[in-house]
Structure 1
Amino acid sequence: MEQVAHPLQGRCLTAKLNGVLIGKAGPYIVRKGPFGLQSEGAPIHFRKIMIKEL
């Protein structure tokens, strides 16, 4: 099973797929609240999403 991690390092968000860095963004102002998942320019399907507090 593929694993994607999006940990916040300082105020920057990193995206890793199976331990390999695939994206980085920020810096952001971090707040509590809801979040969303989206695709840029192409249809995407999500399933079996698990979220844990780090």
Structure 2
Amino acid sequence: SVQRWLTTAPGAPTTHWYQLRCVLSQPLYVMAGQEITGQLHLVAHNAQSYTMHLTMT
């Protein structure tokens, strides 16, 4: 599969992407160097809002 990187970093070209903050119901403890993988599925709604489905392992 092809990986694509999108950024909203300061100094990066402006995009139509915005930053999201995900508040987890349970803490996810990780150690330095540990890798987290996941999937994010966004469903857009008319009022510029989204339903978000996030899974992480």
Q: Indicate the structure with greater strand content.
A: 1
Structure exhibiting the larger radius of gyration computed from Cα positions: 2
The TM-score by the shorter chain falls in which range?
Answer: under 0.3
Q: TM-score, normalised by structure 2?
A: 0.22
